[in-house]
Structure 1
Amino acid sequence: MMANAAKRGFRHEIWAVLTLGVPLIASNLAQMVINLTDTIILGWYDVQALAAVTLAHALYSLLYLFGAGFAWAVMPLVAEAAVQGNDTRVRRVTRMGIWLSLGFATLAAIPMLLSEALLLSIGQDPSISALAQDYLQVIFIALFAALLIACMRSFLAALGHTAVVFWATVFVAILNGVLVYLLVFGHFGFPELGILGAAGGAFWARRSARRLRRSPALRSCASMRCASCPNIICSNAFGGPIRRRWSRSRVSACPSV
């Protein structure tokens, strides 16, 4: 009997790990597809643009990985607080992760905006360095959204809502591919922007992820005002105007997602 109980417990734990882990694996692969899409489409468009975006992605990815450390720290801290039933700490940890991530993004904007000089200093071609800076001067704004999304991914994953993370990333990946294709080549009446189109498509795709707050899963708990709801965005730390704006949209982050 004890052996059967242990076997059932083992199967339960395996299933729990797969249920949480597989959507996170898939979302990470979808995140890689976003960068791969830019590379493939710009490779079709122009070799110089491809070389420039490769350099730009290297710098962007380096800065993102540094900044995402704050977001990754949110996951274990939120999970620990949630197990303890400390909802106040869940909110505070997530808010601080968001503030630190956005603060880092502000500092990271400096090397991205001045990337041409940085690339020239390490011996890169002047024309490619200029193109890379053109790309980064648009995409640096997306770093704010990317780090904010990383914090929310950690928050949702810590509460076991990894399916939300997966579908949000897939949505951004598909929209990014469509927008980059249209804006790089100028198809269907869109302007042909080349490398700037790739940057603009990536920016608008990430920015559109905030629209997911209007999904039925999130709206299902919009009317709840419970102490257990980690209502991060509407928190006092974000000030009255933002709180009122989100109240009008009738959306709040809730564990019932």
Structure 2
Amino acid sequence: MTTPQKGMTPDYSPQPLYPNNRVKRHLSELFRLAVPVVIARIGMLIMSVVDTIIVGNYDSSGLAYLNVAHAPFISLLVTGVGLLTGIMIMTSHAVGRKNYLAAGHVWRACLPYAVLLGFGLGALAWNTNWLFEVSGQPAEITLHATDLGRILAIGMPAALIYTACSFFMEGLQRPLPGMIMMLLANVVNLFLDYGLVNGAFGMPELGASGAAWTSSIIRWLMAFAMLAYVLMLKNHALYGLRDGFSGWWGHSREARSLGYASGASQGMETAAFSAMQLFAGRLGIVAAASYGITMTILALMFMFAMGLASATSVRVGIAYGRRDRADMALAGWIGLVTTMVVMFCLSLPVYFFPGWVANLFSEDALVIAGTSGLLILMPIIFPTDGGQNAAINALRGTGEKWAPTMLHMFSYIFVMIPAGYYLAFVQGLGVSGLFWGIAIASLVAVSGLAIRFKIVSGRELPSYS
């Protein structure tokens, strides 16, 4: 067996049987992995917020065009990221069994897949004008949103190349490079965004198109930077990172299979929440604004859950890779409980000071009142929504594919949408009924996924062939 070189993350060997030590170790590793991922995920949101602020201050019409253009692009991007999740899982399995060449082989097999996927989804993002027409958008919005969507589409392959490299590094328990690159990208984004939108710093004045070009340029810069980082790792030979990509389609089969299930899960969840957004629109301008603000806050806090869930998947995957069932179960339960506790703590400020939080997003008294009434539900929604994400990632870490996806689909398609509609329109609860629907669905999801993890983690693990 090859000995890890300097810079390798330790803690891959079978662990001692002291429960307290194991819990401390898992908590320490969970937060060590999660914090950089959380910062990176929040960095992605901040870039979007900066786009909104700069374009919104330049031209309200341009902001409307950009928001419409982003809708299909983000849905496709989220699906693509889900389809690449298998990279992180398969890498962590290989690391768990100390097969470092196999870990590098996952990356070499899946990078061409990420490129292919990027250009395929980019082609779909390029041709979204039919979607704007079918959904009844005004001709002016359709025209400008189509142009902006095509600029964004140019960055799709880069976004997935970056994701493939970032997932590989996270599977190695080395998420720090992704965090650093995201922080640097935010600095560049602020400079380019302001310059290209407003024509500052000697740059052309492009308006909303400037923000779209900034997004694509930065995605390519991040892709090349992360690709170079992976190829130039000091211990690249240990992983065989420069051994070529021959036979990549066949070798990526297992990672692709895991990604199909994850991509379907994320795609269905995105579609379900899009339906809830349409319900909010039917309730009127104030309801739609309150819903949008509350969902923005929920999305921001959800980045913490995503970081912890990603770390949970890696920790479970490494234990699974070395066939340590007890440690795998412990990693999953610690990840789930920790995520729910953290999310509950994060909900407390918005619960106790809802008016103050709402006032940060709007000066409209009706919108503030409506948003405040929704924020008091967050101590229920934050922990359950975050918990279901941790649970599904724990299951992904064990190699589970379609069972978590089906549970996810049931919770958000067959529970959330009907419950939200019934409570909002039939029972007359309005926009609060939509969030009660989200709360019910999240509770069903976290319960079902936790039960499934208990079943899976109680089984004997298959031996290596």
Question: How high is the TM-score relative to the length of structure 2?
Answer: 0.46
Cα offsets for 1:202-252 (capped at 9, x unmatched)? 11212222235667x98572xx563x2341xx33227xxxxxxxxxxxxxx
Distance 1:176 1:230, change over 3 A: farther
Equivalent of residue 75 in structure 2, options 52, 62, 66: 62
Q: Report the equivalent of 2:21.
A: 8
CA distance in 2, matches of 1:144, 1:235: 22
- Other-structure match for 2:142: 129
Q: Structure 1 CA distance, aligned partners of 2:236 and 2:55?
A: 48
Structure 2: distance between partners of 1:188 and 1:132: 26
Deviation at 1:201, TM superposition (A): 1.0
Paired residue for 1:106, among 115, 119, 124?
Answer: 119
Stretches of structure 1 lacking an aligned partner (at least 5 in a row):
239-257
Does the aligned pair in 2 maintain the 1:68–1:101 contact within 8 Å?
no
Deviation for aligned residue 1:113 = 1.9
For structure 2, which runs of at least 5 residues remain unmatched after alignment?
1-17, 247-465
**2:422 maps to which residue?**
none
The one-letter amino acid paired with 2:92 is: A
For 1:124, what is the secondary structure of its paired residue?
Answer: coil
Contact in 2 for aligned 1:111/1:118 (Cα 8 Å):
no
Match of 1:33 among 46, 50, 59: 46
Query: What's the counterpart of residue 49 of structure 1?
Result: 62
- Of structures 1 and 2, the larger Rg is shown by 2
130, 135, 150: which is aligned to 2:163? Answer: 150
Inter-CA distance 100–219: structure 2 relative to 1 (3 Å threshold): closer
**2:239 counterpart residue number:** 229
Secondary structure at the aligned position of 1:187 is classed as coil
How many Å separate the matches in 1 of 2:236 and 2:200? 47
What is the aligned partner in structure 2 of residue 93 from structure 1?
A: 106
Amino acid at match of 1:102: V
Q: Does 1:197 align with 2:210?
A: yes
Q: CA RMSD in A?
A: 2.4
Determine helix, strand or coil for the equivalent of 2:239.
Answer: coil
C-alpha distance in 2 between matches for 1:105 and 1:208: 15
C-alpha separation in 1, matches of 2:85 and 2:232: 26
Contact 1:183/1:194 (8 A) holds in 2: yes
SS of alignment partner, residue 127 of structure 1: helix
Seen in structure 2, the aligned counterparts of structure 1 residues 42 and 78 have a Cα distance that, compared at 3 Å, is same
1:23 to 29, 33, 36: 36
Choose 126-135 or 204-213, whichever is displaced more: 204-213
Distance 1:20 1:8, change over 3 A: same
Greater Cα offset, 93-102 or 9-18: 93-102
| Deviating more after overlay: 11-20 vs 203-212 | 203-212
**Secondary structure, in 3 states, of the residue corresponding to 2:25?**
helix
2:189 corresponding residue in structure 1: 176
In the TM superposition, what is the alpha-carbon distance from 1:180 to its structure 2 partner?
1.0
Task: State, as a whole percentage, how many aligned pairs show the same letter.
Answer: 23
Distance between the aligned counterparts of 2:123 and 2:36, measured in 1? 34
Deviations 1:120-171 (A, max 9, x none): 1110111112111111211212111111111111100110111111111111
Distance in 2, Cα, partners of 1:171 & 1:71: 24
Aligned length, in residue pairs: 230
Is 1:139 the counterpart of 2:152? The answer is: yes
Q: What do the CA deviations read for 1:160-214 (whole angstroms, capped 9, x no partner)?
A: 1111111111112221221111000001211101122111111121222223566
Secondary structure, aligned partner of 2:84:
helix
TM, length-normalised to structure 1: 0.81
Distance 1:78 1:218 in 2: 16
8 Å CA contact 1:70–1:100 kept in 2: the answer is no
Distance in 1, matches of 2:195 and 2:26, equals 45
**Letter of the structure 1 residue corresponding to residue 225 of structure 2:** R
For residues 220 and 90 of structure 1, what CA distance do their matches in structure 2 show?
14
- Equivalents in 2 of 1:114, 1:108: separation in Å? 10
Question: Matched residues in 1 for 2:126 and 2:233: separation?
Answer: 41
Looking at structure 2, the residues matched to 237 and 26 of structure 1 have their Cα atoms a distance apart, in angstroms, of 32
Offset, 1:15: 0.9
Distance 1:17 1:225, change over 3 A: closer
Q: Cα distance 1:218–1:171, how it changes in 2: closer, same or farther (>3 A)?
A: farther
The residue type paired with residue 100 of structure 1 is Y
> More deviation in 82-91 or 124-133?
82-91
After superposition, the Cα gap between the structure-2 partners of 1:218 and 1:167, relative to the gap in structure 1 and judged at 3 Å, is farther
Q: 1:8 to 1:58 in 2, by over 3 A?
A: same
Which 10-residue stretch deviates more, 82-91 or 56-65? 82-91
2:105 is equivalent to residue 80 of structure 1: no
Assess if the C-alpha contact under 8 Å between 2:103 and 2:239 holds in 1.
no
